[in-house]
Structure 1
Amino acid sequence: MLAAFERMFDPARLLRSTQYKSSTDLPTASETVGRLARVAWPSILESFLVSLVSMADTVMVGTLGHEAIASVGLVNQPRLIVLALFMSLNVGVTAVVSRRRGEGDREGANHTLRQVLLIAAVMSIVLSSLAVVFAEPILVFAGAQPDTLADAVTYMRIVIGGIFFNVITLTINAAQKGCGNTRMSMYTNVTANIVNIIFNYLLINGNFGFPKLGVMGAAIATVLGYVVASLMALISVRRSEGFLYLSFKESFLPDRKNFSSVINVGSSAAVEQVFMRIGFFIFAKIVASLGTMNFSTHQICSNILMLSFAFGDGLAVAASSLLGQSLGQKRPDIAIVYGKTAQRFGLMIGALLCLGFILLRRVIILPFSSEPEIIALGSQIMYIIAVMCPAQISQVIFSNCLRVAGDTRYVAIVSLVGIGLGRTVVAYFFTFTLGLGLIGAWISFLVDQGCRLILCGLRFSKGRWTTIKL
């Protein structure tokens, strides 16, 4: 067993097909796996717990009926479109901070954090204000039905109205991840979700004397979680002894070196995020047109798929942090080793999830709904999710490594082809032309993940991203 482990994760073997196959002074398999595991486990645990809490959130909202699940689900894509710009900036933050960490440039990392925080704060206020004002027409365009529109508008105005706090947390956590401090992100997100669940219980159905607010209560609970997380994140960068330190006495104005690096990475990531979110939006609109019951089933299955994404995201965060630091230390060979090691780990986890989702498909669906139609349709989709797991985890790891290395333009093009065009066109064809309904939409999801895995995997293997300067 130990010999098989050494062969699978041996750095020299992982570099055999690259331009660094003659590299020396490499860490052992145990050292690379050990370091990756130390950085990865908080991110994996964070993503996994957040996914579980999101599932619990859906179960609690589901007590109000499948219309309530659909109302909340309709808001997800508009909310993520608003967040797309900040997610793009944060790709740049993680990339630049990880490089500065590898170079030992503490002030460069801190100035990067300060300037992006200022820009993100101002832009979040502007974008959330627009989303709140135009909530109803946005949701009508998203496919809201008469039985879901009122609740969806209420939920959107409250959640996006409080997104400022979420943006602050995301930006600080992106910088922390660049330093390899994945625990802080875990603490803030897990705490926020615990707060969310507690107030969901109190406000959705009016327990312990609290008012029964239904979907509005779920929205308020979400924003309260945002507020708590932002306070924790700010406190984490106010300790002067840490590598990251947010000083309000220092300049928040952009400097050419660090800000241009963030923009160079973030601009391509922004294009990617826009294409992704528009693609997701159109995909959700296609599914919403199938009716409330189908959309509720889709929302439930999307929550389950997040468990797979949790493992991929956690490993991707760890791999990209160590990859960026290795590039900053002028060790592109070790950067490749971390990326490939994470992908192999992810493939093993994906295979286990595939087996579990097939064997327990009905058991997993049951807590979300007792409606026979949803259980039957959801159980069929679970087969697709099971097959998708290994591909999705590997794709997420390769894509994130390329982004943090600065190869964001290529990833943006792949996202445009895979999500912006491929998934939506294929979804329409399978859903309506072939008449497969929701099953057809999910088949397009599988096709998209497979194509992006192949394209990003080939790009990573060629290794050109190791020469990009930030």
Structure 2
Amino acid sequence: MFRVMREFMRNFGQMKSISEVRHFLLESWNMGWPIILIMFFQFLIGLTDVYVAGLLGKEILAAVGYVGQLYWTLMILANGITVGTVSMVSQAYGAKHPEGVGSITAHSLVLGVFISGVLTVLAQLFPEQITRFAGMPPEIQGIATAFLRVFSLVLIPTYIMIITSGVLRSSGRVRVAMLNSFVTAMVNIVADLSLGLGWGPIPALGFIGIAWGTAIATTIGMVLNLGYVIRGEKLQILHSLGRPLPRCMRNLVKLGVPTALQQTAWNAGTLVVYFLAGQLQAGEITALAAMTAGVRVEAVIFLPVFAFNMASAVLTGTRLGAGDVSSARSGAKATALLCLGIILLPAVAIFFLAPYISAFLTEDAAVREEMTRYLQINMVGVPFLALGITLSGALQGAGDTFGTMKIIFTGMWIFRIPLILVVVHIFHAGALGIWWSMTVSMVLMCSLLVHRFVGEKWITASRDKQTNTMLWEACIPEDRPSETK
């Protein structure tokens, strides 16, 4: 593990000059800070839904929480498509091939509309069955079903919004995506409050107002993103919509499916961890409460980490598209170190202020003590988290989604869950053992990501071995061959 880190730092020192390092850091920051704000605005949307639901009653709050988890499970495929889209669009953009950008965008939208359309039909036909299958308590199933009926109506707009946001980020328009995300969040806040609680002449619709408020905001976000995307590549998109290319679609699926499987495996593993924490022989409720609250605090760390993960994907893809492998590798390292530098201060603050943070969030003495341990132990792994997750973005931008998937799966199902089972059932370490298992598994997983990056396989992940061309080039019509070699 430490050998891998030494190799990473040694290679970082191969940059030519301080000015080169400064250049890469500036590029990373210019791409990273708008994405941090995008993620914050998305966080505000969920927070507003929860806030208004809490004012309407605990049953509605519970239903919003359940449906929110179910809804974002349906978004896994959208995120998978977007990762493949970002990889291919950023490479086409780096190769200065606007037709490639437009064609990839068109194929991604077709794929996203098809998948979300199927999900919409299923959710509209079988909402009661879905809510029951999701394990929702009987007392909130009626509310959850009503939520699902409305939310499923905007599955297609949501897919389009997510995919087009990825296109904007990866084609030099990240600040446009940020502004559109801001507008979407503000509309959601106003719509939730006015439709849910009533405002002036607008009657209070109760919980269904929350659903329609979010639906309206999502649709506006889709229109804004789509308008900017079409404005940039209108002719290319229209041309590609009329002449879809099977190989282009196949390559998008090839890059996107591993990411969808990766997120599914991680989410399922997280549910298992919650289940195992709930099976402790003593203090299980305390452990669950501490973990639930602790995860909310960790969002301070996770937001910038995953923002720089996405920034690294775009920057690495763009540099590889331009044929600059050396800059792709050096730039990814600079992004990872910038992320590390940014989150170290809040991580150290959380570590030392954990007792006070816990006391602010709960009055239960046992939960305060357990939450303090949870936060302090998890902060130990933050340096590895920053480097590993940021570099995984570089791997995804390079098209190495299958390699990333294997490592994430290993971290959860080979390291974390077996380790928890051992420390809980053999060593009887209780909640403390679970917290240390989570941190140790995170360190091991992120070390594997760094090791993958230090190697060479990811560099050629976006190259079709049969044709010896980049995967994105399959999206160029045969009568208009790419100049990229």
TM alignment of 1:209-358, pairs within 5 A: 210-239=202-231, 242=232, 244-245=233-234, 249-252=238-241, 253-255=243-245, 258-283=248-273, 299-358=292-351
User: Are residue 17 (structure 1) and residue 7 (structure 2) matched?
Assistant: no
Once structures 1 and 2 are overlaid, which stretch shifts more, 128-137 or 158-167? 128-137
Name the counterpart of 1:46.
38
Once structures 1 and 2 are overlaid, which stretch shifts more, 349-358 or 421-430? 421-430
Name the counterpart of 1:109.
101
- Cα distance change, pair 312–261 in 1 and its aligned pair in 2 (3 A): same
- Give unmatched runs, 5+ long, in structure 2: 1-6, 464-469, 471-485
Please, which of 398, 407, 421 is the counterpart of residue 391 of structure 2?
Answer: 398
Once structures 1 and 2 are overlaid, which stretch shifts more, 308-317 or 208-217? 208-217
| Paired residue type of 1:250 | H
Quote the Cα distance in structure 1 between the aligned partners of 2:429 and 2:58: 22
User: Are residue 201 (structure 1) and residue 193 (structure 2) matched?
Assistant: yes
8 A contact 1:93–1:113 mirrored in 2: yes
Quote the Cα distance in structure 2 between the aligned partners of 1:55 and 1:380: 26
User: Residues 125-164 of structure 1: CA distance to partner in whole angstroms, max 9, x if unpaired?
Assistant: 1113324544445444544334544444433333233221
User: Are residue 452 (structure 1) and residue 442 (structure 2) matched?
Assistant: no
Cα deviation, residue 250, structure 1 = 1.6
User: Residues 85-108 of structure 1: CA distance to partner in whole angstroms, max 9, x if unpaired?
Assistant: 221111111111111111111101
Quote the Cα distance in structure 2 between the aligned partners of 1:286 and 1:149: 25
Cα deviation, residue 120, structure 1 = 0.7
| Paired residue type of 1:352 | L
Cα deviation, residue 305, structure 1 = 2.6
8 A contact 1:237–1:246 mirrored in 2: no
| Paired residue type of 1:92 | G
Quote the Cα distance in structure 2 between the aligned partners of 1:228 and 1:46: 15
- Cα distance change, pair 207–38 in 1 and its aligned pair in 2 (3 A): same
User: Residues 371-398 of structure 1: CA distance to partner in whole angstroms, max 9, x if unpaired?
Assistant: 8887676555433454454443333212
8 A contact 1:353–1:389 mirrored in 2: no
Cα deviation, residue 284, structure 1 = 5.6
| Paired residue type of 2:244 | P
8 A contact 1:44–1:310 mirrored in 2: yes
Name the counterpart of 1:10.
none
- Give unmatched runs, 5+ long, in structure 1: 1-12
Cα deviation, residue 193, structure 1 = 1.8
Helix, strand or coil for the counterpart of 2:111? helix
| Paired residue type of 2:76 | A
- Cα distance change, pair 411–345 in 1 and its aligned pair in 2 (3 A): same
Determine what percentage of the aligned residue pairs are the same residue. 22
Helix, strand or coil for the counterpart of 1:17? helix
Once structures 1 and 2 are overlaid, which stretch shifts more, 269-278 or 421-430? 421-430
| Paired residue type of 2:261 | V
Quote the Cα distance in structure 2 between the aligned partners of 1:370 and 1:194: 33
Report how many aligned residue pairs link the two structures.
453
Name the counterpart of 1:130.
122
User: Residues 211-235 of structure 1: CA distance to partner in whole angstroms, max 9, x if unpaired?
Assistant: 4455433332222221111011011
Helix, strand or coil for the counterpart of 1:254? coil
8 A contact 1:102–1:328 mirrored in 2: yes
Cα deviation, residue 328, structure 1 = 1.4
Quote the Cα distance in structure 2 between the aligned partners of 1:277 and 1:456: 19
- Cα distance change, pair 435–445 in 1 and its aligned pair in 2 (3 A): same
Quote the Cα distance in structure 2 between the aligned partners of 1:213 and 1:94: 39
TM-score by length of 1: 0.82
Helix, strand or coil for the counterpart of 2:83? helix
Cα deviation, residue 358, structure 1 = 3.6
Cα deviation, residue 268, structure 1 = 2.6
- Cα distance change, pair 136–431 in 1 and its aligned pair in 2 (3 A): farther
8 A contact 2:107–2:248 mirrored in 1: no
- Cα distance change, pair 200–103 in 1 and its aligned pair in 2 (3 A): same
Please, which of 173, 176, 197 is the counterpart of residue 165 of structure 2?
Answer: 173
User: Are residue 157 (structure 1) and residue 149 (structure 2) matched?
Assistant: yes
- Cα distance change, pair 211–376 in 1 and its aligned pair in 2 (3 A): farther
- Cα distance change, pair 262–389 in 1 and its aligned pair in 2 (3 A): same
| Paired residue type of 1:255 | L
8 A contact 1:135–1:157 mirrored in 2: yes
Helix, strand or coil for the counterpart of 1:330? coil
| Paired residue type of 2:229 | V
User: Are residue 419 (structure 1) and residue 421 (structure 2) matched?
Assistant: no
Helix, strand or coil for the counterpart of 1:251? helix
- Cα distance change, pair 187–420 in 1 and its aligned pair in 2 (3 A): farther
Tell me how large the CA RMSD over aligned residues is.
Answer: 3.7
8 A contact 1:46–1:185 mirrored in 2: yes
| Paired residue type of 1:161 | L
Helix, strand or coil for the counterpart of 1:51? helix
8 A contact 2:398–2:458 mirrored in 1: yes
Quote the Cα distance in structure 2 between the aligned partners of 1:437 and 1:32: 45
Structure of higher CA gyration radius: 2
Quote the Cα distance in structure 2 between the aligned partners of 1:125 and 1:281: 27
- Cα distance change, pair 300–163 in 1 and its aligned pair in 2 (3 A): farther
| Paired residue type of 1:73 | G
Once structures 1 and 2 are overlaid, which stretch shifts more, 373-382 or 328-337? 373-382
Once structures 1 and 2 are overlaid, which stretch shifts more, 116-125 or 51-60? 51-60
8 A contact 1:82–1:128 mirrored in 2: no
TM-score by length of 2: 0.80
Quote the Cα distance in structure 1 between the aligned partners of 2:52 and 2:431: 24
- Cα distance change, pair 120–366 in 1 and its aligned pair in 2 (3 A): farther
Quote the Cα distance in structure 2 between the aligned partners of 1:49 and 1:266: 25
